Amino acid sequence: MKNNVASPSPKFSNTLNIEFDKTLKKRVRDYFKENNISKHANAEMVLKTISMLAIYLVPFILMLTGVITNGWLIALSW
């Protein structure tokens, strides 16, 4: 039988390891500055994101609009 008692959600303290957080953030910032890397996505990442969305959405839209009606093509597209 399942226990109907709700388990408490974990709580994390944001006051512990403050020095660790500061050090980690500083090192990451320094790494990006030293290597001339943007913290934000570059053109390659944007292209990958658009490609992955297209790979998912184009077959889905084709199935919804009725362009693809064959069951095997739907299975292959998905």
Residues 6+ apart with CB under 8 A from 39: 32
Q: Which domain holds residue 48?
A: 40-78
DSSP-derived letter for residue 16 is T
Q: Does residue 11 form part of some domain?
A: no
The overall pTM is greater than 0.75 = no
Q: Does residue 58 form part of some domain?
A: yes
Query: pLDDT confidence of 4, banded at 50, 70, 90?
Result: low
Task: Specify the pLDDT at position 2.
Answer: 58
The 10s digit of each residue's pLDDT in 19-77 is 888 999 999 999 999 999 888 888 899 999 999 999 999 988 988 898 888 888 878 87
Residues 6+ apart with CB under 8 A from 62: 68, 77
How many domains would you assign to the chain?
1
What's the Rg (C-alpha) of the chain? 24
